[in-house]
Structure 1
Amino acid sequence: MQTWQSVLVGAVVVLVLLGLGSIRMVQQYERGVVFRFGRVLPGVREPGLRLIVPIADRMQKVSVQVIVLSVPGQGAITRDNVTVQVDAAVYFKVVDPVKAIVNVRDYQHAVSQVAQTSLRTVIGRADLDTLLSDRERISAELKAVIDEPTEQPWGVRIELVELKDIALPETMKRSMSRQAEAERERRARVIAADGEFQASTRLADAARAMHATPGAFQLRLLQTVSDVAAEKNSTLVMPFPVELLRFFDHAAGHIAAPVTIPDTAAELHGHSDHR
């Protein structure tokens, strides 16, 4: 009797252990892939408590969270033969857990290697100005290059690729600094010349308006005198109208002209002959 009781207790303990061994907990951010005698069962196990067949089944969990992968700096030569070193960050996630486990041994390491080679390839197809000014286009192109060999075969989708830093040689930095300085100087000269042209145009318009209205010139003359007098200087500058100078020149010409004096004798002789 005691033997049967011992056997029964042992069987119950074994069943309990087998029951506990068949329970698996899948977290919300995970998906479970079940292997039965080495073969993958169709479908994946969703989050929650899941049962598997003890001894026959083995569950492997795969995280479906977004993984951030830092790509180390890669030295490359741009299309215009400039040596640069670029590092990037790749954001990806597993969209097909079965492919991520079965088709590739270590998908994180595989994505890292693909990102490094793709980064060098994309940099080699772009020139330096595009690499510095249009990072969004370079990032989008790099994302497409990395995503092509990873999503379908490996079940990994690239969410985002960002260029973190672009290191340039010191000689190139100095050349770019001189170029930027020359560009700013050119813009300053163009702006100054444009300002002079606009000022001359306005002055010409003002001169035509004053010429059409003589009173406006006198008012402007008085305003200039008032502005000079407001400075409280010991010397007062009096603008002289050009028209007044012309008037004085005209009057001086009349005064300096020779005066014709009639010949009295000749006139008298003429009167006597008339008589």
Structure 2
Amino acid sequence: MNEVISSLQVSFSLVVLLLLLLIISMFRILREYERAVVFMLGRFYRVKGPGLIIVIPVIQQMVRVDLRTVVMDVPSQDVISRDNVSVRVNAVLYFRVVDPQKAIINVEDFLSATSQLAQTTLRSVLGQHELDEMLANRDMLNADIQRILDSHTDVWGIKVANVEIKHVDLNETMIRAIARQAEAERERRAKVIHALGELEASEQLVAAAARLSQEPNALLLRYLQTLTEVAGENNSTILFPLPIELLNHLSGLTSSKTQQ
């Protein structure tokens, strides 16, 4: 009789222990940035959290989903631009889960799916642009890639916040070609600036000549000023031409005095 009672006590203790373990396992704690997608008998039940939640063992299953922003490094991709230049481009992707139900039910692995989609989108978008646009208009390309990714991942409950192209790697031959092109561009700008300077100088000289031709005495004063500047340079010999206009002016002064 005592043995039967002892076995019953042991069995009861085991049952109580199992019930306690079962009750304890029902309680789950989720952090502020976590949500739980709960399934009941294989069917979607509801999204719970954060804080303390209850999940009935065996009947209900829970999948944790992190709502924080994920920073994903997109591997380097070989891209051929529209002007047939081969480059290697890598980028970084910022996204987060905004709908845990879609992220778990509509796609098997949303992290892997987003990574693969980012790689293919990066190749397709950059392949439609020339190399100069890749190097100079990165903000526009980032916005295009972000818009395309966001539209495709919306059915997965994912919001793409930003896309940044980090590096555009070129081979040595293309780097030398770009350097030669930049040097030629700088020489072209230098010649254009020099020509514009010559044009402005000629316009000013024409204006000065027109102004001096209106008053002969102004030409004489300018000539004397030039002589003064040359004489101040401590030269032992000074050779200067006599302009015909000055001789005509002097002869006109002499003839006027003779008439008087």
TM range (shorter): 0.7 to 0.9
Specify the code of the residue in structure 1 equivalent to 2:21.
Answer: L
The amino acid across from 1:182 in the alignment is A
Unaligned runs of 5+ in 1: 252-275
Structure 2 gaps of 5+ residues are 254-260
Residue type of the alignment partner of 1:177: A
State the 1:120 CA deviation: 1.6
What SS does the corresponding residue of 2:235 show, helix, strand or coil? Answer: coil
1:138 is matched with 141
2:153 is aligned to 150
Secondary structure of the residue aligned to 1:149 is helix
Amino acid at match of 1:84: V
1:203 Cα offset (Å): 1.0
Normalization by structure 2: what TM-score? 0.83
Q: 2:241 aligned with 1:202, yes or no?
A: no
2:45 counterpart of 1:48:
no
**Letter aligned with residue 243 of structure 1:** E
CA distance in 1, matches of 2:76, 2:89: 5
Match of 1:170 among 172, 177, 183: 172
Q: Do 2:81 and 2:126's aligned partners in 1 also have CA atoms closer than 8 Å?
A: yes
Q: Which has the larger radius of gyration?
A: 1
* Secondary structure in 2 matching 1:110: helix
Aligned to 1:28: 32
Q: Does residue 141 of structure 2 align to residue 111 of structure 1?
A: no
- Deviation, 1:158, is 1.5
Match of 1:260 in 2: none
Q: Provide the C-alpha distance between the structure 1 equivalents of 2:142 and 2:229, rounded to a whole number of angstroms.
A: 62
- Structure 2 counterpart of 1:40, one-letter code: F
Q: Does 1:60 align with 2:44?
A: no
State the 1:107 CA deviation. Answer: 1.2
Structure 1 window deviating more from structure 2 (238-247 vs 109-118): it is 238-247
Corresponding residue for residue 228 of structure 1: 230
Q: Cα 1:137–1:244, aligned 2, differ >3 Å: closer, same or farther?
A: closer
How do residues 195-274 of structure 1 correspond to structure 2 at under 5 angstroms? 195-236=197-238, 240-246=242-248
Structure 1 consecutive aligned stretches of length 4 or more whose deviation exceeds 4 Å: 1-15, 236-239, 247-251
Compute the displacement of 1:176 (Å). Answer: 2.1
2:39–2:45 contact (8 Å) kept in structure 1: yes
Task: Give 3-state SS (helix, strand or coil) of 1:31's partner.
Answer: strand
User: In the alignment, residue 74 of structure 2 is paired with which amino acid?
Assistant: V
Q: With the length of structure 1 as denominator, give the TM-score of the two structures.
A: 0.79
Letter in 2 for 1:88: A
Shift of 1:15: 4.6
Q: 1:144 and 1:208 mapped to 2: Cα distance?
A: 63
Q: Does residue 1:182 correspond to 2:170, yes or no? A: no
Alignment check: 8 A CA contact 1:64 1:94 kept: yes
Q: Report the AA paired with residue 134 of structure 1.
A: N
Contact 2:121 2:148 (8 Å CA) reproduced: yes
2:37–2:100: 8 Å Cα contact kept in structure 1?
yes
Look up the match of 2:258.
none
| 1:192 alignment counterpart | 194
2:85 aligned with 1:74, yes or no?
A: no
